[in-house]
Amino acid sequence: MYYSSLDFYVKAFEDKPREYAFSAQSREECVLWQSTLRNRLCEISGVNRGVRCEGRHEFLRTDDINGLSGEYHLLETEPDVWMPFYLFRPGEGGEHPILIIPHGHGGGKREAVIGQEQFIRESLEDGFLVVCPDTRGSGDRREFPEQKEEPQAMRSNSHRELLQVCIGFGRSVIGTAVWDLMRLADYLKSLPETGDFMACAGMSGGGQQTLWWAALDERVNAAITSGYFYGMKESLIELPQNCACNFVPFLFETADMGDIGALIAPRPFFIESGKQDHLSGKSGLQNVYPQVETTRKAYRLLDSEECLIHSIHPEGHKWIGRGMREFLMSSRKRYTQMNERS
């Protein structure tokens, strides 16, 4: 006989509505709600506890990843905290839009390059400067228990260890990931070869980072999340074995995933879901649709419903990418036209 307490938390989630659940009825209410929830998420995730630093930068070498030439860089994001990243340059000169591709849970930046190789090649052809960083606890940022070169260890992460330390400082793993992406954006936007347009796209844990960063940083002009958009009760509370990076103090009392997605409106947002994705929870797509609809309400109020795309494929927890290239190009065009009118 086992006496589990998880049902208690499932019921607690069901019985008490999210404090910042989307309920706006006008454009003005929507904009005010976005600002309020954005501030609250920065608080509970610890994004606002990040420590500014000099932001030192080093270029180490160039690696070949499946024929792609990746410049290996290091960026200081907090005092003596270093983020390694691969930078891929398009062939032609001039100013380039930025595309950041955070990796998922299975490995680090190198796995992101391999898993989304075709998308990266297309983006380079379209003139994007593409960057694939390591998040804290992954890739070349693994902590001592996972700092081994065996294949299994290289695909592991130290997010559980980091979360156990972070919470004692009022921080979270996803909060540190967002902070690091913000500092990476600072650096990239300071380069003479980059333009104003910046997009982010990721699969699984990379989709999580994309969702949170785009929600909290309005400099992200377009966002793509694949394999990460569903109701939190089924996918996080009922599946607590999911990666520790998903868990933030007070999150389940604050907002659901559709509310976080609504913070991206009216900027272009592409959601990719797999019919057989086990991480969507026991209800499958029925645990996804209500969250997308919550996000869609914000887009409607901000007269930008056409900027929200939900693409569904028949497979499981997998990046397919159908329509993403066109989405990025149309988002960039829309951004340019809006700037020309303003």
pLDDT per position as a tens digit, 95-139: 999 999 999 987 899 999 999 999 999 999 999 999 999 999 999
Q: What is the mean pLDDT of residues 52-81?
A: 97
Q: What is the mean pLDDT of residues 299-325?
A: 98
pLDDT of 196 strictly over 80: yes
Q: What is the mean pLDDT of residues 261-290?
A: 98
Cα–Cα distance for residue pair 44/32, rounded to 1 Å: 19
- CATH architecture observed for domain 96-341: 3-Layer(aba) Sandwich (3.40)
pLDDT of 154 strictly over 80: no
Q: Supply the pLDDT for residue 156.
A: 86
Q: Are 102 and 112 in contact (CB under 8 A)?
A: yes
How confident is the model over 236-245, as pLDDT tens digits? 999 999 999 9
Question: Taking the complete model, does pTM exceed 0.85, yes or no?
Answer: yes
Model confidence at 146, pLDDT cuts 50, 70, 90, reads confident
Provide the residue type at 323 as one letter.
Answer: G
Helix 27-45 / helix 289-301 crossing angle, nearest 10 deg: 130
Q: What is the mean pLDDT of residues 285-296?
A: 98
Q: Supply the pLDDT for residue 153.
A: 73
Model confidence at 339, pLDDT cuts 50, 70, 90, reads confident
Q: Supply the pLDDT for residue 144.
A: 86
* Domain boundaries of the chain, sorted by first residue: 96-341
Q: Residue 192: name the closest of 95, 126, 97, 59 by CA.
A: 95
Tally of CB atoms within 10 A around 3? 4
Provide the residue type at 138 as one letter.
Answer: S
